[in-house]
Structure formats: structure tokens, C-alpha cells
Amino acid sequence: MRATTCCIAGGGPAGMMLGLLLARAGVPVVVLEKHADFLRDFRGDTIHPSTLEVMHELGVLDDFLKLPHQKVRELVVQIDDVRVPVADFTHLPTRCGFIAFMPQWDFLNFLAERARRYPTFELRMRAEVTGLIEEAGRVVGVEVDTPEGRLEVPATLVIAADGRHSVVRREAGLRIEELGAPMDVLWFRLARRPEDAVGGLGRFTAGRLFIMLNRGEYWQCGFVIAKGTIDEIRQAGLEAFRAEVARLAAVPRDRVSDIRSWDDVKLLTVLVDRLPTWYRSGLLCLGDAAHAMSPVGGVGINLAIQDAVAAANILAAPLRDGSLSLEHLQQVQRRRLPATRIVQRLQILVQDRIVTPVLGSRARKLSVPLALRLLVRIPLLRRIPGRLVGMGVRPEHVRI
């Protein structure tokens, strides 16, 4: 492959958004995605108001919202038989006062289609970054496995946007701080019927957390378990698991027949970590490669998009004129790290105060925590989590 100015490893939200923004600013950019398409179940489906605002700033919001999606204006959880409104998005200072639930592959395909309209953009699928090219301690490109064989892509800047198990980060030798997560998620599908509710469902019962995401023809289900308990669940047997799913999903037993074997149930390991340093000369980590988030609040995609927007705002001009320095990479981390720290602290607080007690509870019925009872009684308070979830701590806007 030919040399490029910016080579992005990973075609997830951070990588695709950054690729679009840089190409739009006239920067030659290549995005390398190891899979043949974006169709994977382990994808978050939430497009937050702040991300929808970015789409508006790019002038593509109306076209984007023509894609199938569900609007969620209020985040609600069910704690046993109590309905608890948690977050209100309708009062946010954005064009869209809602979260759009949309399969992430539709979101990524939309970004790719828009980016391809710019002559400086290239997306290579089935191109897996396996190593770095270095000269005198500086990263100057990547090694890539493709169906045509092993290639090298020289680049002025390499972006690691290849997720929480980032190969680029590992090859760069960047140190990770583990912050801990008390849970994992069992991920599977259930058929969806026309009479089913339109929106998703989050249900808390003693010892169990259960989530259902509407993906049109089926429900994508997340069965939250205490970390390290997967063997115990499997030993209890598939029939016991099906029965528990039917209870939590509030569906007849025949609806769980889609779970034919344990092969239909995938274990999603939850990680919460971050890099103390996101960069090296010629290399910058963004999104999950820089900070793996807990699924609490579903804000990982939001932060990844905001990382990409901030990086584009800071890096586009020096990449264009050839003046990129280590200081520019440091600026990106300085701008995004405080928001990352705050969100992760809040996630860990929720994990410690709500998730762990619920998963460990053996009571017949859960009591609603005081903080959540206040949200039920005082609707105005729901605007606070609405802003934190919907916009984040430091929303970013397109400046290029």
C-alpha cells in the first residue's frame, strides 16, 4: 500500500469518525479494519445526543435519521415491579433530545459511505494491523495482514483505534492501569414479535441484571453476571439458564428456544482500564484502546466519538502542513483525559453501589436505593444523569 499521512487501525466509532473528519479536512487517511464487514454482535447500539449533534455539525443528521432507529427520550430501569425513570434527555441543549438506538453496523456503514465521498479517504477491509514500523524510536507505519499477503503502510501518524484488546497499543509497549469491573455479560439473541414493546428493557431483580436491545427482528440480550461465575452458570445447565431468561425477559418458555446450546451464548468480558500515556512519537491511542469503559450508562461509544472529534480538531492542521509534533498528541490527551477519569469514577461508583449489591443479593425482593427513589419523586433531578449520559462531561464540537 502507498504511504499516507494518517493510518488508523480499527474501523469502530473512533476510527471511522476520525477518518471522516480528517478526510473532510483534506488530510490523506487510511482506515484499516480487520473484518470483512461491520456486522458483529458485540457492538453498542446507542447514539447519544452529543454524537447526533456532531452529525448535525457535519450536515448529515437528517440523512442519518432516515436509517431505522428507535428514539429513547427517557432512560428507565425496572427494579422488580417498580419502574424507575433514571435520566431525562428532553431538556438537553442539543438538536436531538433523545438517544437513538441503532445497530452500530448501520452507524459505521453510514460514516464509511460519507467518508468515501472525499478523495483523501481510503477504507481497507480484511486488513489486520499486526505490528509497527519504527525508526529511531518513532512509529512510522504499520505492518498489515491482508488476503493479498503481508503489507507495510508508512504513515506520518498511526492512530490506535483497535479496541480494548489493542494490538497496536501492545506493540507500542504502552502501560495499562486496570481499574476493575465486578461483572461480565452473557450476550445472545431472542426472536422479537410484532406485539413486543418497541423500546428496550433493563431489569434488576435480586442477583440478576438483564438488558434487552431492540434490533428489529430480534432482541439482543445481555445477561449480566458476577465476574468469574460463568462456570457455575454452565454447570447448572442450559435448561435452568433458559428458564431464568424467560423469567427476566417476561416471555413464555417457548420464546427462549433460540438458545439451542451454549454456543449461542457468548461471554463478553467487561474491562475498565486506561493508559496513563496515550501516545508515543508517531502514535496516538483513542477510544477503547486508550480507555476501556464499563457498560454502565452505555457511554463508551460517546467517549470514543468525542475523542475522535477532539483529535481531528487538534491534529488536522499540523497533519496537513507537515508540522505534527509530540506536543500535538499530548494536547489530545490533556483535553480528553479529565473527562475519561470522571466518567470512569462515576461508572465505578455505580458498579460498587448498585451493580455489585444487586448481583450479590439473595433477598426475595430488591429495595430501590435512596438515590433512585429521589429520581422517581423529583423529575427535575433526572436532568443531571440525562446530561452526564447524553452529553458527557466535556462534549466536543467539529471545529474544522
pLDDT recorded at residue 289: 97
pLDDT band at 400 (very low <50, low <70, confident <90, very high): very high
Query: Of 271, 327, 285, 317, which is closest to residue 132 (Cα–Cα)?
Result: 285
pLDDT recorded at residue 41: 59
Residues 6+ apart with CB under 8 A from 77: 84, 86, 202, 203, 204
pLDDT recorded at residue 138: 97
Query: Of 176, 179, 157, which is closest to residue 165 (Cα–Cα)?
Result: 176
Mean pLDDT of 329-354: 94
Mean pLDDT of 23-28: 98
pLDDT recorded at residue 201: 64
Mean pLDDT of the chain: 92
Q: Residue 57 in contact with residue 150, Cβ under 8 Å?
A: no
Q: Residue 64 in contact with residue 55, Cβ under 8 Å?
A: yes
3-class secondary structure, 245: helix
Which of 40-44, 117-121, 345-349 shows the lowest mean pLDDT across its residues?
A: 40-44
The residue that leads in pLDDT, 11 or 197, is: 11
Is residue 42 predicted with pLDDT exceeding 70? no
Residues 6+ apart with CB under 8 A from 138: 280, 281, 282
Q: Residue 79 in contact with residue 209, Cβ under 8 Å?
A: no
CB neighbour class for 314 (10 Å; exposed up to 12, middle 13-18, buried from 19) = buried
Calculate what percentage of the chain has a pLDDT beyond 70: 98
pLDDT recorded at residue 365: 77
pLDDT recorded at residue 202: 76
Q: Which long-range contacts (CB under 8 A, 24 or more apart) does 305-308 make?
A: 305/13, 305/14, 305/17, 305/50, 305/51, 305/54, 305/396, 306/50, 306/336, 306/339, 306/392, 306/394, 306/395, 306/396, 307/14, 307/332, 307/336, 308/13, 308/14, 308/15, 308/17, 308/18, 308/21, 308/161
DSSP 22-55: HHHTT--EEEE-SSSSS--SS---EE-HHHHHHH
Query: Of 166, 165, 124, which is closest to residue 4 (Cα–Cα)?
Result: 124
pLDDT band at 200 (very low <50, low <70, confident <90, very high): low
pLDDT recorded at residue 43: 65
pLDDT recorded at residue 358: 83
pLDDT recorded at residue 84: 85
Query: Of 193, 206, 165, 383, which is closest to residue 289 (Cα–Cα)?
Result: 165
Distance in angstroms (rounded) separating the CA atoms of residues 212 and 248: 10
Residue 209 backbone phi and psi in degrees, to 5:
-125, 135
pLDDT recorded at residue 364: 72
Distance in angstroms (rounded) separating the CA atoms of residues 44 and 300: 8
Beta bridge partners of 8: 31, 159
pLDDT recorded at residue 207: 81
pLDDT recorded at residue 46: 86
Q: How far is CA 94 from CA 7, 198, 336, 339, 358, in A?
A: 32, 24, 21, 19, 34
**Per-residue pLDDT tens over the stretch 156-167:** 999 999 999 999
pLDDT recorded at residue 268: 87
Query: Of 187, 175, 208, which is closest to residue 42 (Cα–Cα)?
Result: 187
pLDDT recorded at residue 169: 97
CATH code for the structural domain at 4-71+100-178+272-355:
3.50.50.60
Residues 6+ apart with CB under 8 A from 76: 83, 84, 85, 86, 202
Distance in angstroms (rounded) separating the CA atoms of residues 50 and 35: 28
Distance in angstroms (rounded) separating the CA atoms of residues 247 and 205: 10
Mean pLDDT of 300-317: 96
Is residue 249 predicted with pLDDT exceeding 80? yes
Mean pLDDT of 306-321: 98
Residue 165 backbone phi and psi in degrees, to 5:
-110, 40
Residues 6+ apart with CB under 8 A from 194: none
Beta bridge partners of 30: 7, 122
pLDDT band at 253 (very low <50, low <70, confident <90, very high): confident
The residue that leads in pLDDT, 279 or 359, is: 279
Query: Of 16, 11, 75, 80, which is closest to residue 40 (Cα–Cα)?
Result: 11
Mean pLDDT of 353-374: 81
Mean pLDDT of 134-158: 96
Q: Can you say how many angstroms the Cα of residue 198 is from the centroid of all Cα atoms in its chain?
A: 22
Distance in angstroms (rounded) separating the CA atoms of residues 393 and 395: 6
Calculate what percentage of the chain has a pLDDT beyond 90: 70
**Per-residue pLDDT tens over the stretch 52-104:** 999 999 999 999 999 999 898 998 888 877 888 889 999 999 999 999 988 89
